[in-house]
Amino acid sequence: MTIEIVAAIERRHEIAWVTQRGKRSTVPVPRLRTVEDCLRDPLPDQSWMTSPLPQEKFTGWLVQ
């Protein structure tokens, strides 16, 4: 199922969904990003959280 979703995104160059009001909404995806691209992004702002989770908890396995 995941491969089918990715294939549809690559074919259409967008992600589309139906909103709660029943309208079609989309966001453009000119190209899929690599894992390396994503890892270069700044970390999300977690300053508002009482107990933020460290990034390593989610991505530590990528840099072993």
Threshold 0.75, pTM exceeds: no
Residue 46 lies in a domain: no
Q: What is the number of alpha carbons within 13 Å of residue 17 lying toward its C-beta?
A: 6
Residue span of the structural domain in which 4 resides? 1-40
Domain assignment of residue 9, yes or no: yes
Nearest to 56 by CA among 37, 43, 38, 41: 43
Contacts for 43 with CB less than 8 Å, ≥ 6 apart: 55
For the chain, the domain total comes to 1
Top pLDDT among 50 and 56 is at 50
* Position 64 confidence tier, pLDDT thresholds 50, 70, 90: low
Whether 18 is in a domain gets the answer yes
User: Are 19 and 25 contacting, i.e. CB atoms less than 8 angstroms apart?
Assistant: yes
CB 17 within 8 A of CB 28: no
